[in-house]
Amino acid sequence: MHAVGLITEYNPFHNGHLYHVQEAKRVTGADAVVAVMSGNFVQRGMPAVMDKWQRTALALEGGVNLVVELPIAFAVQPAHLFARGAVMLLADLQVETIVFGAEHAELDFMGLAQQAHATLADSEHFKQDYTKTYATQFNDVIEALVGYRIESPNDLLGFAYANAVIELGLQGEISLHPIQRKQAQYHDRELDQNTEVASATALRLASGQSVDQLKQYMSTTGATALSRGGQVVPIDEAWLTSLLFKVRTTPVTGLEQIYQLNDGLAYRLKALAEKKQYLTVADLLDDFKSKRYTRSRLSRSLLYVLLNMTQVEVMTALNQPYLRILGQDQVGRKYLKYIRDLTQLPVINRVSHQDVQTIMALDYRAGMIYQLFTRPEFDQSPQDTGRTPIYFER
């Protein structure tokens, strides 16, 4: 059996994702579609609009055969670490091709990444220039190679996937296949009545609207789920209050133990939290941001604080990847059986007491916090313990 891999968040799953699944299978002729999907928190440092179980069910309905969770230590990271974790899992799952959407699918992502990777590895300036973000320095090199900057989000992720393949020594084992994104752009905030494809951003903003308004852009099942509104309380309510409580009651020395809350960021965040009563996360980020750190980077830092993710814990988790199976259909089950003797990483179907104390400690904590902020009209079941993979019968 041959599998094609997708790297996803499905926040939420919509018609653009459906096209991605169908095209991935068409262009590769794969027997199985395997998706690595972020769990309850996504790359920009925010809770997902639906939990990982609802999003898994929608992905299976949309044609994915196997859904595996990307651990939070990788999922809530800048592009290069997000990509590295996802590519690592797909490689262990014996995926031969990764298909991803791109704003400029005509680009030779692997070829340019090879040139950029060699340049970055030899560049002492890149290694020592702490006044620029990783993304900015990476783009400086790309601009020097091709004459323009790579600005579009999915193009940047495409280069990150290519770099991950190189860094993990997977050239010749995994190929990359970009496909052109259809219609809606990544940051579009409005639903376009003249198309059936909307951005995930626009759909999240439209959560709570009627099924009839939403089903143009996603399955009826998905539209029904999204019409109920976001699964967790709004970020500017209990989440923000809890964050400010954590910052105000924790000494700076304690905050400095949080992952990436270094180089004076702990002092700065504590000073801001004690000086002003913020009403929105956006306002806090406006004051917290700087030239050195992107808004997304600092948004992730706030989540690390809220989830109490320490430097030691995250670095340990980055070195202990695993395969958490969230869902499968009969093809996905058959594929897992087919590769059973080839995978090297631990495979988790049912979370054990030992798992939540060791390899899954961060994801278990994240699940408990997501459950804590889940609105009362939604299922209040634990996110991890007592759960088994969803089985979708076609």
Q: Tally the domains of the chain.
A: 2
Answer yes or no: do 84 and 212 share one domain.
Answer: yes
Q: Answer left, alpha or beta for residue 281, where phi above 0 means left and psi between -120 and 50 means alpha.
A: alpha
Backbone angles phi and psi of 279, in degrees to 5: -100, -20
pLDDT of residue 127: 53
Rg (CA), the chain: 20
- 142 labelled ligand-binding: no
For the stretch 159-174, pLDDT in tens is: 899 989 999 999 999 9
Supply angle C-alpha 243, 318, 126, rounded to 5: 90
Least confident stretch, 24-33, 117-126, 254-263: 117-126
Report the pLDDT averaged over residues 227-231: 96
Number of C-beta neighbours around residue 356 at 10 A: 18
Please indicate, yes or no, if residue 35 is contained in any of the structural domains: yes
- 23 labelled ligand-binding: no
Please indicate, yes or no, if residue 354 is contained in any of the structural domains: no
Please indicate, yes or no, if residue 390 is contained in any of the structural domains: no
CATH code for the domain in which residue 195 is found: 3.40.50.620
- 8 labelled ligand-binding: yes
- 333 labelled ligand-binding: no
The three-class DSSP label of residue 380 is: coil
Answer yes or no: do 114 and 246 share one domain.
Answer: no
Last residue of a domain, one of 173, 199, 226: 226
- 181 labelled ligand-binding: yes
pLDDT of residue 123: 59
Answer yes or no: do 146 and 261 share one domain.
Answer: no
Q: Indicate whether 232 pLDDT > 50.
A: yes
Report the pLDDT averaged over residues 330-348: 97
- 117 labelled ligand-binding: no
Answer yes or no: do 152 and 15 share one domain.
Answer: yes
For the stretch 41-67, pLDDT in tens is: 999 999 999 999 999 999 999 999 999
- 98 labelled ligand-binding: no
Rounded to whole angstroms, how far apart are CA atoms 14 and 259? 33
Answer yes or no: do 193 and 251 share one domain.
Answer: no
Please indicate, yes or no, if residue 346 is contained in any of the structural domains: no
Please indicate, yes or no, if residue 250 is contained in any of the structural domains: yes
Q: Indicate whether 330 pLDDT > 70.
A: yes
Enter the pTM of the model.
0.94
Q: Indicate whether 295 pLDDT > 50.
A: yes
Answer yes or no: do 161 and 271 share one domain.
Answer: no
Q: What confidence tier does 222 reach under pLDDT thresholds 50, 70, 90?
A: very high
Q: Indicate whether 80 pLDDT > 60.
A: yes
pLDDT of residue 125: 45
Q: Indicate whether 186 pLDDT > 60.
A: no
- 80 labelled ligand-binding: no
Place of tokens 């054990």: 352
- 40 labelled ligand-binding: no
Least confident stretch, 7-16, 82-91, 125-134: 125-134
Domain range spanning residue 291? Answer: 235-315
Answer yes or no: do 48 and 197 share one domain.
Answer: yes
Answer yes or no: do 216 and 256 share one domain.
Answer: no
Rounded to whole angstroms, how far apart are CA atoms 296 and 44? 6
Least confident stretch, 177-186, 324-333, 369-378: 177-186
Answer yes or no: do 158 and 221 share one domain.
Answer: yes
- 20 labelled ligand-binding: yes
- 16 labelled ligand-binding: yes
pLDDT of residue 319: 96
Backbone angles phi and psi of 179, in degrees to 5: -125, 150
- 13 labelled ligand-binding: yes
Rounded to whole angstroms, how far apart are CA atoms 201 and 185? 9
- 148 labelled ligand-binding: no
- 304 labelled ligand-binding: no
Q: Of all residues in the chain, what percent carry a pLDDT higher than 90?
A: 78
For the stretch 84-97, pLDDT in tens is: 999 999 999 999 99
- 19 labelled ligand-binding: yes
Answer yes or no: do 214 and 257 share one domain.
Answer: no
Q: Concatenated DSSP letters for 75-122?
A: HSS-HHHHHHHHHHHHHHTT--EEEEEETTTTS-HHHHHHHHHHHHHH
Please indicate, yes or no, if residue 290 is contained in any of the structural domains: yes
Last residue of a domain, one of 315, 334, 361: 315
Please indicate, yes or no, if residue 348 is contained in any of the structural domains: no
Q: What confidence tier does 116 reach under pLDDT thresholds 50, 70, 90?
A: confident
Please indicate, yes or no, if residue 359 is contained in any of the structural domains: no
Answer yes or no: do 258 and 188 share one domain.
Answer: no
Last residue of a domain, one of 315, 335, 356: 315
pLDDT of residue 303: 98
Q: Indicate whether 124 pLDDT > 70.
A: no
Answer yes or no: do 185 and 287 share one domain.
Answer: no
Torsion sign (Cα): 149, 154, 158, 160: positive
Q: Indicate whether 141 pLDDT > 90.
A: no
- 134 labelled ligand-binding: no
